Amino acid sequence: MKRLTLKEKNFFNSEGYLGFGPFLNKERIKQLGEGIDAIASGEWEYPSNLVRWEPGHEEQNIAQGSDRKKFVYQIRYPHRHIPLFMEHATDPAILDVMEDLLGPDLVLYNSQVLLKPAFHGTSQPWHQDAAYLPIGRTNLVSCWIAIDEATVENGCMQFIPGTHNSGLVEHKSGRMLSAASGGTAAAVQEISVDESKAQAVPAKPGHGSLHHCLTFHGTPPNKTPHRRRALITHYMPLDFTYTGPIDDRPQFHVVRGDRTGEIL
């Protein structure tokens, strides 16, 4: 074991999630937070089709300036466009934990930033990540890290323990996620769960949680004056298959093990 205790690993295997930290030091949290803000405010050039907006604020994508960042809901794939986020996705502090859960060879599937602006950050309905990810025949584990303190009130992660053993359940399509021009709109996928079983995992900046791609999870809306930004990276072993449209197939980076540096 590199970073987890046996008890933590056993908890993850039986419950399908684990609160963990710290992953990041203060300096790195500051750099990543500034990077996220620079993309969201339009200060750093970023493909507009990879930025999604809070419902009802799509028009903000053409406005520039510091207010713009108050309406960004999602920044997709930052590791593909900005070296700072690739450094994050390959940070040994994360990969050591992933190795404990997934074994010695790790492939980076993707990254995203999910933001919950103060007062109106919308909820992320209950779902399984596997409903969004066209990946077959493997385990996939997501690493969710808070950039701002995440509390129950401003939208921390919540999990339904043990649900990673349920297989992929049917999701229904909920509200639409809109992208700026050229981006793909997509419906939020949702399931109903027994919320009385939900376990909230609040996180200080730089701390977070790990979850299996079949674990039911979601986040409540942010009704507080405190914004909540989180950076999420997804990892899997080498034995994955890609089941999505061939034209959309991303590059999969091997980030740990004998084949580190290969692109699959």
Ligand X SMILES: O=C(O)CCC(=O)C(=O)O
Point out which residues bind ligand X (CB under 6 A). Answer: 114, 124, 129, 142, 144, 155, 217, 219, 230, 232
Instruction: Give whichever of 81 and 211 is closer to ligand X, judged by the CB atom.
Output: 211
How far is C-alpha 189 from the geometric centre of its chain's CA atoms?
A: 15
Residue 37 CB, nearest distance to ligand X (Å)? 17
Q: Which two tokens stand for residue 184?
A: 């793909």
Residue 144 CB, nearest distance to ligand X (Å)? 5
Q: Tell me if the bond preceding 55 is cis, omega within 30° of 0.
A: no
Per-residue burial over 228-260, b = 16 or more CB atoms within 10 Å of its CB, e = otherwise: bbbbbbbbbbbebebeeeeeeeeebbbbbbeee
Instruction: Give whichever of 7 and 19 is closer to ligand X, judged by the CB atom.
Output: 19
Instruction: Give whichever of 21 and 257 is closer to ligand X, judged by the CB atom.
Output: 21
Q: Which of 38, 55, 58 lies closest to 46, judged by CA? A: 38
Cα 81 to Cα 24: distance, rounded to the nearest angstrom: 21
Q: Which of 190, 220, 186 lies closest to 126, judged by CA? A: 190
Residue 259 CB, nearest distance to ligand X (Å)? 26
Torsional class of 119: left (φ above 0), alpha (ψ -120 to 50), beta (otherwise): left
Instruction: Give whichever of 131 and 259 is closer to ligand X, judged by the CB atom.
Output: 131
Instruction: Give whichever of 108 and 114 is closer to ligand X, judged by the CB atom.
Output: 114
Residue 258 CB, nearest distance to ligand X (Å)? 29
Residue 128 CB, nearest distance to ligand X (Å)? 9
Instruction: Give whichever of 80 and 259 is closer to ligand X, judged by the CB atom.
Output: 80
Residue 109: other Cβ atoms inside 10 A: 23
Residue 16: other Cβ atoms inside 10 A: 25
Residue 146 CB, nearest distance to ligand X (Å)? 9
